[in-house]
Structure 1
Amino acid sequence: MPDFLLSQLLVTVTLIIECCAMQFKNKNYILAALSVSCLFNGYHYLLLDQPTAGYIFLFSSIRFLISIKWKFQWISVVSLCLSLLITVSTYNGLLSIIGFMATILITTGSFSHNDKFLRLMMISGGLLWFIHNLILGSPIGVIVETVFVGSSCIGYYRYYIAKKPAEQAI
């Protein structure tokens, strides 16, 4: 099977997981689902000769699991430093920079105690990964980020904008 086709199959698994992830209310469930999706997404990027994105996503899988248990800001800083080290050591141009910028936003959100802030950072980081995948030419990757950002916006709307009738009466 050609690497490109295999990469698109792997990122399809990411798509399925991320369709549901941002609809969870529990922040830990969101982070656990994203951890699993990062494994598939990381291998997708490695098959497309994008080591920065690949290794950032593989590391992000671990980072999401860590952020479920510990929200210490120093862990966030260490995670960002490791992501910067990955970016510098695998640098291959504009896509490396875009991926690192997206990682800054998503890491900052994942170590936040505030669910609303987490969702806003996920939306912002997802938009950058969308641009990354568009430039890379990964069609399923573009769909993943479109679904992820769309799902994140829907989740944000459901939990922070839409008012339930019972809440409006109070």
Structure 2
Amino acid sequence: MPDFLLSQLLVTVTLIIECCAMQLKNKNYILAALSVSCFFNGMHYLLLEQRTAGYIFLFSSIRFLVSIRWKFQWISVAALSISLLITVSTYSGLLSILGFIATVFITVGSFSHNDKFLRLMMILGGSLWFVHNLILWTPVGILVEVVFVGSSCIGYYRYYIAKKTLNTAP
């Protein structure tokens, strides 16, 4: 099986997980689901010879699990430092920079105690990964980010806008 086709099959697992993840209310369940999806997404990028994205996602799989248990800012800074080290050591141009900046938003959100802030950071980070995948031209990867950002927006709306509207209705 060609690497490109296998990469698209692996990222399809990511797509399935992320279709549901941002609809969960419990932040720890969201982070656990994202941990699993990151593993498959990382393997997808490695098959496409995108080492920066691949290693960032594999590391993110671990980072999401850590952020379930510990929310210390120094861990967030350590995770960002490791992501920067990955980016510098695997640098291959614009895609490396986009991936790192997207990871900054997602890392900051995942170590936040605030669910609303987490969702906003996921929307920003996912939007940058969308641009990354568009430039790379990984069709299922593009769909993953469309679903992830769309689902994040729907979840944000359900839990923070519609709920507020219902509470303020006459």
TM-score, scaled to structure 1: 0.97
| Aligned equivalents of 1:101, 1:165: Cα separation in 2 | 33
Per-residue CA distance 1:89-121 (angstroms, 9 max, x = gap): 000000000000000000000000000000000
Per-residue CA distance 1:50-100 (angstroms, 9 max, x = gap): 000000000000000000000000000000000000000000000000000
CA RMSD of aligned residues (A): 1.3
TM-score, scaled to structure 2: 0.97
Residue equivalent to 1:24: 24
Paired residues for 1:12-161 under 5 Å: 12-161=12-161
Residue equivalent to 2:7: 7
Per-residue CA distance 1:30-61 (angstroms, 9 max, x = gap): 00000000000000000000000000000000
| Aligned equivalents of 1:103, 1:163: Cα separation in 2 | 29
Cα deviation, residue 163, structure 1 = 3.0
Q: Percent identity?
A: 82
Question: What is the one-letter code of the residue matched to 1:13?
Answer: V
The number of residues matched between the two structures is 170
| Aligned equivalents of 1:166, 1:96: Cα separation in 2 | 43
| Aligned equivalents of 2:40, 2:101: Cα separation in 1 | 20
Cα deviation, residue 167, structure 1 = 3.1
Question: What is the one-letter code of the residue matched to 2:136?
Answer: L
In structure 2, stretches of 5+ residues that fail to align are none
| Aligned equivalents of 1:70, 1:151: Cα separation in 2 | 25
| Aligned equivalents of 2:35, 2:91: Cα separation in 1 | 23
| Aligned equivalents of 1:163, 1:107: Cα separation in 2 | 27
